[in-house]
Amino acid sequence: MSPPSVLARAPAKINLALHVGPVRGDGYHELATVYEAIDVYDEVRATPRNDPAVSVETVDPAGWPVVGVGADADHLAVRAAAALRRQCGVETGVHLHVRKDIPVAAGLAGGSADAAAALVACAALWGLGLDRPELLDVAAGLGSDVPFALVGGTAVGTGRGERVQPLPAAPATTWVLVTSTPGLSTPAVYARTDSMRAGHDLPAAGFDGETPAGDVLLADLLAAVRSGDADRIATGLHNDLQPAATRLRPGLADVRAAGRAAGALAGLVSGSGPSLLLLVRGDAHAAAVATAVTSAATGALAGVRVRTVHGTGTGAAVVDDPPARLGGG
């Protein structure tokens, strides 16, 4: 018998390096990136329906509806469940209850985390017995970051980011994560990057899409990640989208400068932003930096949240149902 419901969770991602190549014929940019999962999670509970529909509700950790996520047909978790149904010939409907702790449109791949958690939860609910490579095939068709949300840990991403090469376990990193609202549109940040390159406000793309994973673009950073040396990692952090995100949200530059002045080893916009990462040496260092940067952040940005996060090896997975927390779906 199928379980009455299945609860899964998936992590937010950050990009320790994000090199953006030129636009491809399909409209995507070729990427070379180093992904890292952090210990901020979205959770998805999958519950059977008595009809063939796929539905969703999305709430924050306090149980309030989340603004800014797509309606049923546009919600990435719904698209994930629907794609899995089609591929496996499932006729049963499902309701997805999404509990979001990853901010929307924050450069942390929250929508991709929802999709990955939905894939894992629905595969378990329907008893499909799929292995991870089979889920990765479905994930690759949903979005560039969905395969990494399944894999977790640290990984190299190529193609448009969907080709994921997991890396051996490495010492955990510690960050002060500064999130703010409203979010930034990923297509808008890529478009601004392209226009800044065309106007020579930014150098042209640094690679042509033929650079193998682990080549010169990423080699130094990968060696630093393996070492666990935060100072070495700091020197290798890179994001081609950072100038455009900062142009669209100027306060990010002020917060990044405040973080460096407070002793952070480096500051980096996460993906397409507007989340900002400040690399630190550990929790005690994080507490000091977070205290110092909070005032600058609340003065420069809206809807600010400052918290300490860590690199984690956890990808999307079914989890035990915590008592009296998520409720039904």
Q: How far apart are the first and last CA of the chain?
A: 19
With a cut of 90, say whether residue 217 has pLDDT above it.
no
Tell me if residue 13 is catalytic. Answer: yes
Tell me if residue 100 is catalytic. Answer: no
Residue 31 neighbours by CB under 8 Å, 6+ apart: 18, 19, 20, 21, 144, 157, 158, 159, 160, 161
In 3-state terms, what secondary structure has residue 203? coil
What pLDDT was estimated at residue 329?
Answer: 36
pLDDT band at 6 (very low <50, low <70, confident <90, very high): very high
Summary mean pLDDT of the chain: 92
pLDDT band at 312 (very low <50, low <70, confident <90, very high): confident
Catalytic residue among 13, 100, 114, 240: 13
**pTM score, two decimals?**
0.93
pLDDT tens digits, residue range 36-84? 999 999 999 999 999 999 999 999 999 998 987 876 778 999 999 999 9
The answer to which of 106-120, 141-155, 275-289, 315-329 has the lowest mean pLDDT is 315-329
Catalytic residue among 42, 100, 114, 145: 145
What pLDDT was estimated at residue 7?
Answer: 97
In percent, the amount of the chain with pLDDT more than 90 equals 83
With a cut of 90, say whether residue 165 has pLDDT above it.
yes
